[in-house]
């Protein structure tokens, strides 16, 4: 069972030094919590690493600890996984020798499917999932720009674990209360994961295909129509699964997010223009696979999935 002081006293180890990893590392360290970034490479590894957090043009330098995740043997109390979703399980496996019966794993990435797989692989470890609408991008390797403040919901993915839900939620939120990010606890985190997935399905691939900002999708009738179709297909899946997560409509939610992040570039857009692997398999690809199992037609999601896969193949061949 997780001890009452686990979250507050053991500090935070963060896997994934991308935009979201650096954003959370910066905010946690800024309020005095011990933060250690787990890096893959030993090259030029420094024990203390300065992060730059840029907010509204103002840059703050915040020191965090850094170490090699796999080669270190010291125990990890609280682990936040901010890798790409397709890297998460392997990344956790590389440091699982450092996990203890009191460890806590927090998953904070896009997509769906990996969270459930992680809960299956670590059934005795409390696993918290996060769904965030915070906007961030990297200007340089350890320089993160906070592009927009949103809302982050956290909740326990595997409530049948040995840990007590009330203890975990109380201690986790106690550790979060001082940071300058909008954080809430949910006893039904699946709702927020599904709604975030729908928004990502509706916005991310279209911005990557058309090479545009989120808000530009609403100005183009064809893109706006596809956004609606994506959301309606996901609502059909939720109806078949008898999950009451489509009210108010997912399309309305996607519009609200596109308007609220109108000047932002989606993570998939950034991956495509930088010739990086996208999370399309865990976003629209997840919907396509699930629809196939359920016997549901999702032609718009399938079209967007295939278009992004084609772009990735073209980029890889160049």
Q: Which of 73, 164, 196, 242 is catalytic?
A: 196
Q: To 5 degrees, how large is the angle CA 53–CA 57–CA 58?
A: 55
Which residues, other chains included, contact 138 with Cβ-Cβ below 8 Å and sequence gap of 6+? 18, 19, 22, 144, 145
β pairing state of 99-107 and 127-132: parallel
Q: Tell me, yes or no, if 292 is annotated catalytic.
A: no
SS (H, E, C) the chain: CCCCCHHHHCCEEEECCCHHHHHHHHHHHHCCCCEEEEECCCCCCCCEEEEEEEECCEEEEEEEEEEECCCCCCCEEEEEECCCHHHHHHHHHHHHHHEEEEEEEEECCCCCCHHHHHHHHCCCCCEEEEEECCEEEEEECCEEEEEECCCEEEEECCCCCCCCHHHHHHHHHHHHCCCCCCEEECCCHHHHHHHHHHHHHHHHHHHHHHCCCHHHHHHCHHHHHHHHHHHHHHHHHHHHCCCCCCCCCHHHHHHHHHHHCCCCCCHHHHHHHCCCCCCHHHCHHHHHHHHHHHCCCCHHHHHHHHHHHHHHHHHHHC
Residue numbers annotated as active site: 196
């Amino acid at each position: 069972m997780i001890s009452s002081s686990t979250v507050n006293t053991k500090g935070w180890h963060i896997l994934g030094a991308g935009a979201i990893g650096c954003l959370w590392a910066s905010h946690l360290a800024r309020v005095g919590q011990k933060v250690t970034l787990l890096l893959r490479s030993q090259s030029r590894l420094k024990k203390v690493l300065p992060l730059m957090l840029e907010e509204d043009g103002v840059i703050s330098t915040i020191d965090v600890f850094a170490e090699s995740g796999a080669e270190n043997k010291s125990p990890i109390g609280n682990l936040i996984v901010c890798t790409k979703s397709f890297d998460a399980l392997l990344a956790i496996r590389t440091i699982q020798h450092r996990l203890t019966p009191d460890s806590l794993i927090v998953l904070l990435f896009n997509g769906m499917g990996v969270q459930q797989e992680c809960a299956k692989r670590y059934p005795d470890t409390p696993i918290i999932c996060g769904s965030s609408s915070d906007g961030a991008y990297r200007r340089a390797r350890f320089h993160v720009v906070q592009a927009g403040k949103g809302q982050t919901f956290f909740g326990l993915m595997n409530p049948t674990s040995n840990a007590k839900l009330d203890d975990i939620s109380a201690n986790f939120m106690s550790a979060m209360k001082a940071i300058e990010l909008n954080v809430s606890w949910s006893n039904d985190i699946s709702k927020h994961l599904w709604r975030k997935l729908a928004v990502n399905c509706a916005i991310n691939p279209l911005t990557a295909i058309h090479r545009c900002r989120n808000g530009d999708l609403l100005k183009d009738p064809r893109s706006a129509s596809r956004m609606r179709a994506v959301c309606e297909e996901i609502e059909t899946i939720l109806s078949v699964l008898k999950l009451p997560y489509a009210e108010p409509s997912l399309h309305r939610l996607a519009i609200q997010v596109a308007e609220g992040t109108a000047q932002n570039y989606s993570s998939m857009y950034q991956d495509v223009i930088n010739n990086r692997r996208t999370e399309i398999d865990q976003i629209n690809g997840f919907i396509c696979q699930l629809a196939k199992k359920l016997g549901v037609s999702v032609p718009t999601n399938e079209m967007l999935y295939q278009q992004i896969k084609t772009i990735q193949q073209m980029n890889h061949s160049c």
